[in-house]
Structure 1
Amino acid sequence: MSTSASPAFDTDTLRRGIEGDTADTLLSLYADDAEIRIVDRDTQPSNPKVLHGRDEIGTMLQDVYGRDMTHRLEQCVVQGDHAAYVESCQYADGGRVLAESMVSLRDGRIAEQTLIQAWDE
C-alpha cells in the first residue's frame, strides 16, 4: 500500500516570485481561495486589511510590483503545512520596508497568510 504525499511548498518559486520584477510568479503560489491579513501602522491588529481570493491578492501584488523598488527574501522556514518568511524591500529613494509572513499551506499553495509590515517614515 502506498501513500501519496501532498505537494511540497516550492521555496525556490517563492524566492523567484519575491525577487522578480512582476507579481505573476508570486501569485502562482496562492490557492484560488487564499486569504491574506495585513497588519501595519495603518491597518492595526484589531482591524487588519483582509484580501480574499487570488483576484484581490493579485491586485495588491500588481500594485506593489508596479513600484520602483527591489524585494529580497531574507529567510524562509517550512514545517509541515506552515511556512514563515522574512522579506526586505527598498524603494529607489532609499526607504525600506520589512515584512514577515506566517502562512498555512494546502496542497503546496498558500491558503492563509498573516503579513506584518513596517516601513521607514
Structure 2
Amino acid sequence: MGTAARPAFDTDTLRRGIEGQTAETLLSLYADDAEVRLVNRNATPSHPKVLHGRDEIGEMLTDVYSRDMTHKLEGCVVQGDNAAYSESCRYPDGMRVLSESMLTLRDGKISQQIIIEAWDE
C-alpha cells in the first residue's frame, strides 16, 4: 500500500514570481489563509505589520511590484515543511533593499511567512 506524495513547494515559481514584473505568480504560492509578518524600520519586532489572507498579501505585493525596481532571488533552502530565502532589490537611484524570509509550508503553499527587511538609508 503506497502513500500519496505531498505537494512540493515550487522553487522555480518562487524565482519567477520574485524576479517577475507582477504580483500574480508570487501570490499563487500562498495558501488562502496565509499570514505574513513583516519587520523593517517602520514595523518593529514588537509591532510587526501582519497581513492575513491572500487578499491582504496580494495588496502588499501589488504595491511592491508597482514600483520601479528590480528583484532577485539570491538563494532558497527547503526542508520539509519549512523554507527560507534571501531576496535583493534595487531602485533606479541605487537604493537597495535586502530581505530574508522564513516560510512555513502546508500542502506546498506558504501558510506563514516572516520577512525581515533592511534598507539603505
Using the size of structure 2 for normalisation, the TM-score is 0.99
> Following the alignment from structure 2 to structure 1, what is the Cα–Cα distance between the partners of residues 36 and 92?
26
Question: How far apart in 2 are the matches of 1:46 and 1:119?
Answer: 19
The separation in 2 between residues aligned to 1:64 and 1:93, in whole angstroms, is: 16
RMSD: 0.4
Is 1:50 aligned to residue 54 of structure 2? no
* Counterparts of 1:53 and 1:17, CA distance in 2: 18
Determine the structure 1 residue equivalent to 2:12. 12
Q: Which residue of 1 aligns with 2:98?
A: 98
TM-score (norm 1): 0.99
Q: Note the residue ranges of structure 1 that are not aligned, 5 or more in a row.
A: none
Taking only the aligned residue pairs, the percentage that are identical comes to 74
Q: Which amino acid aligns with 2:113?
A: Q
Q: Once the 2 structures are TM-superposed, how far is the Cα of residue 58 of structure 1 from its aligned partner?
A: 0.1
* Residues in 2 aligned to 1:60 and 1:90: alpha-carbon distance in whole angstroms: 18
The amino acid of 1:117's aligned partner reads: E
Per-residue Cα deviation, 1:80-117 (whole angstroms, up to 9, x for no partner): 00000000000011100000000000000000000000
Tell me by how many angstroms 1:41 deviates: 1.0
Count of equivalent residues: 121
How much does 1:119 deviate?
0.6
Distance 2:41 2:62 in 1: 21
